[in-house]
Amino acid sequence: MIKPLIRMDGVDTYYGPSHILHGIDLSLEPGCCLSLMGRNGMGKTTALKTIMGLVRPGKGKIEIHGHDASKMPTHAIAASGIAYVPEERGIFPNLTVTENLFMAARLGQSGRGNWTFQRVLDLFPRLAEREAQWGNNLSGGEQQMLTIGRALMTNPTVILLDEATEGLAPLMREEIWRVIRVIKDAGIAVVIVDKNVGRLTELADRHMILLKGRVVFDGDRDELIADPGRLHRYLGV
């Protein structure tokens, strides 16, 4: 039996008195691409932050690589091979593209270093053209490329992507979707949140739909589209 990279068992998460996630069960196997779907405010970002240790579960258990991560600090979760690409990007504006990438560089689990500086630049030719530019001089799409490239420089086993195409021009969105496909094909497991249901349906192996912090669907593409009314009820499409 394949051991999951990430497992959430009965996880509840709170923001102060607000109960956001309710009994979340999630399992992510190596190489799997999992989409988290749901309308705004349903708990998708909170689920990613809970995995990353940015928000602590009030109940339940989180395991990463078979180890209890419920109280593990965020830097230790990152060092274990989990990379997080937040919606707000979080690049260093006063560092160059090259400096931003090397800030994150490290070998992955078991000393793997498949994602080198040159490989990241090969994946993002626009960044290669802008190596010496400051982060705050990049366009929104280029900053998103830099954020994903920085995540790859950690040589992760899992990437958490939160609204990676939000607010980007159409051509830049297409470029980001191409990159996500390359990441998946490279064998990195992906958990992705995005509003483009069509692209998620094409790309992901499994889909979970959240409604008010509860999982109301967990299945593959065929199961997802078998009931056309499901997408309309829960996603408005």
What's the chain's average pLDDT?
93
**Identity of the amino acid at 52:** M
Q: What is the pLDDT of residue 108?
A: 59
- Domains in the chain (CATH in brackets) are 6-228 (3.40.50.300)
Nearest Cα neighbor of 159 from 180, 135, 177 is 180
Spatial strand order of the sheet with 18-28 comes to 18-28, 6-15, 57-64, 67-68
Q: What is the pLDDT of residue 228?
A: 82
Residues 110-122 have pLDDT tens digits of 545 689 999 999 9
Residues 55-71 have pLDDT tens digits of 999 999 999 999 999 98
For the entire predicted model, the pTM comes to: 0.94
pLDDT grade for 105, boundaries at 50, 70 and 90: confident
